[in-house]
Amino acid sequence: MHCRRAFTLLEMLISTVLISLVLIGLYQSLNIQQQSNKILHGYLKNAEHQNRNVLVLYRDLIASDGNLSIHKGEFDRLCINRTANTLHDLDWPRVCWVVAKEHHTLFRIEGNAFSLPPRPDERVAIDEVMKEMQLFDVYRNKGDLLIVLQAQNKPPYSFVIQGVEAPPPKRKKKKETKK
């Protein structure tokens, strides 16, 4: 009876080839997984950026005093005369969300007192929010606001905020007449 103590050279070659084929398959699947993760990371980063900007708009409106102006025309814009939400450490700043039609870009402008477009001597912070804006609309019905934002080839963002009441109009004091 023959006693076998080791593998033959042929058995070693066959096992090496089989392990090599398995490792090649694993490497290819790892490579595909890494490419997929890279693409997914790009989509998530873009979505996070857009969600963060929409959240800033939401916070601007929630923390506002309700005194809003909505203009449509050459520049679609929403101006909030006073808000407690600030990105640049200002006390109750004025914030305007403006779509530059030429570049189709949404900007957030924050400052204490400024005109549109801001003059060079006015101290404002201008943040680029979204490029390739297709739609930026704000609708107001009493205390309710409907906001719709859409970048080109992206799904629209829309949300409703209730209870943003406009401040009561200032009453003019009647001059008392002397009799």
Q: What whole-number distance in Å separates Cα of residue 59 and Cα of residue 84? A: 9
Q: What whole-number distance in Å separates Cα of residue 145 and Cα of residue 150? A: 17
**What does the pLDDT profile of the chain (179 residues) look like in tens digits?**
677 678 888 888 999 999 999 999 999 999 999 999 998 888 788 777 778 888 899 999 999 988 888 888 766 788 999 999 999 888 899 999 998 877 888 899 999 988 888 888 888 999 988 888 888 888 888 888 898 888 888 888 888 988 887 777 776 666 655 55
Domain boundaries, the chain: 44-162
Q: What whole-number distance in Å separates Cα of residue 16 and Cα of residue 6? A: 16
